[in-house]
Structure 1
């Protein structure tokens, strides 16, 4: 079972920062997960939340701020003084990083942009992902099925992951197949053994989020889960 570093090594360093990604280099971790959003001036950056408030010393909506404005904020001190002055990471920086170290990536499409402005976002994401080395494996996932479907039309060669919060819908297999997904990413809190086997039997691989409990991880491995998203991918027992 694969272990995917959730927003980098986010148990040891502030999520989605250079520090969190660089910690992977010395560890036996082959996969990372991160979130792509866009600034008001069209730059792609890595951040989970719609607003910067939780993970920086600033406030406001990511989509309403320019890259320069975001780069002035401290994205590390909230986690620890040791990471003071960590700056927001651009997708370009991460692509250079993963190409160099050949890390595989699950990119989550995560934006509060309205549907009429999503095309520019998706076009930019596709242009960026074309710069990823052929030696790097990519999955693109989202909770937004419409956004994921639009991405699939633009870049059909990339594997898709359907992210589901809370209970899996009864028609999850149909949802995944209709948009051409090869993965389903369920919430660990609600996933059952029967649901896992149903997905696998329908040729859908299962990557579960977010798993930080060793006993739960061992159970999922027995269920034949493909991968887990975890804040502790370096822990050998998980």
Structure 2
């Protein structure tokens, strides 16, 4: 059974350290988060890194397409200077480095497959192979994506992995899509979600995860509707909920 916590740090803890870095993962743990969400991104020659954007400019001192960059180029970039002087020199982690860091800290992983393309066969098997080799507790791992074909392939290749389907707004066919891949979770943006939708997801037996709320009052009603977890840039705003029964 998936051991999902109520609070999931977004891209580590994006308010507290440069997003999707080892520093951000450690900041989430230090803030009391038991799970984090990070993005796995495919790059040239089959490399897998922890990064969000299609381009390098926003979060590094590099430029150009993330997917076309070599691993050598990626590892040479500074991914922390933009956040603050104290993070200058922080690197983009490889997928393997992030997994090792998470497990050293005892954190659960909500891994978003950040891939918009159609050639999921070129991306998904490598992600699953790395997880099979390195990830230890399958009940502290949730694979999620907006890319539904990627989730379909995840299910075909890994019958037991926990899957979450990500959407901005809950679509009319959400139940069919969750059932077709035997998902356990629906992830959606907290703002457009309605009470009716939330209660329907819960009544159907699925976990409901809402992103990205950074103040507790924004999702106060969502807990009442049945929300299981909140994804947040600032876990400090919510960690007190982990101690409530």
Task: Normalising by structure 2, report the TM-score.
Answer: 0.91
Question: Structure 1 residue 89 and structure 2 residue 93: aligned?
Answer: yes
1 or 2, which has the higher helix percentage?
Answer: 2
RMSD, aligned CA: 1.6
| Equivalent in the alignment of 2:186 | 184
The answer on whether the counterparts of 1:50 and 1:112 sit within 8 Å (CA) in structure 2 is no
Question: Structure 1 residue 142 and structure 2 residue 145: aligned?
Answer: yes
- Aligned-residue offset at 1:24: 2.8
How many residue pairs get matched?
Answer: 235
Q: Any gaps of 5 or more consecutive residues in structure 2?
A: none
Task: Normalising by structure 1, report the TM-score.
Answer: 0.93
Q: Any gaps of 5 or more consecutive residues in structure 1?
A: none
Question: Structure 1 residue 32 and structure 2 residue 36: aligned?
Answer: yes
Secondary structure of the residue that 2:186 maps to in structure 1?
strand
- Aligned-residue offset at 1:176: 1.1
The answer on whether the counterparts of 2:12 and 2:28 sit within 8 Å (CA) in structure 1 is yes
- Distance in 1 (CA, whole Å) between partners of 2:75 and 2:24 is 17
| Equivalent in the alignment of 1:9 | 13
The superposition leaves residues 4-27 of structure 1 with CA deviations (integer Å, 9 ceiling, x where unpaired) of: 000011101110011111113333
- Aligned-residue offset at 1:136: 5.7
Alignment of 1:79-118 (within 5 A): 79-115=83-119, 118=120
The answer on whether the counterparts of 1:35 and 1:108 sit within 8 Å (CA) in structure 2 is yes
Alignment of 1:1-238 (within 5 A): 2-115=6-119, 118-130=120-132, 131-134=134-137, 137-165=140-168, 167-235=169-237, 236=239
The superposition leaves residues 1-54 of structure 1 with CA deviations (integer Å, 9 ceiling, x where unpaired) of: 701000011101110011111113333210000011122021210001111111
CA distance 1:53–1:26, change in 2 (3 Å)? same
The answer on whether the counterparts of 2:116 and 2:147 sit within 8 Å (CA) in structure 1 is no
- Distance in 1 (CA, whole Å) between partners of 2:67 and 2:202 is 37
- Distance in 2 (CA, whole Å) between partners of 1:205 and 1:74 is 37
The answer on whether the counterparts of 1:103 and 1:136 sit within 8 Å (CA) in structure 2 is no
Secondary structure of the residue that 1:62 maps to in structure 2?
coil
- Distance in 2 (CA, whole Å) between partners of 1:199 and 1:25 is 29
Secondary structure of the residue that 1:169 maps to in structure 2?
coil
The answer on whether the counterparts of 1:77 and 1:83 sit within 8 Å (CA) in structure 2 is yes
- Aligned-residue offset at 1:114: 4.4
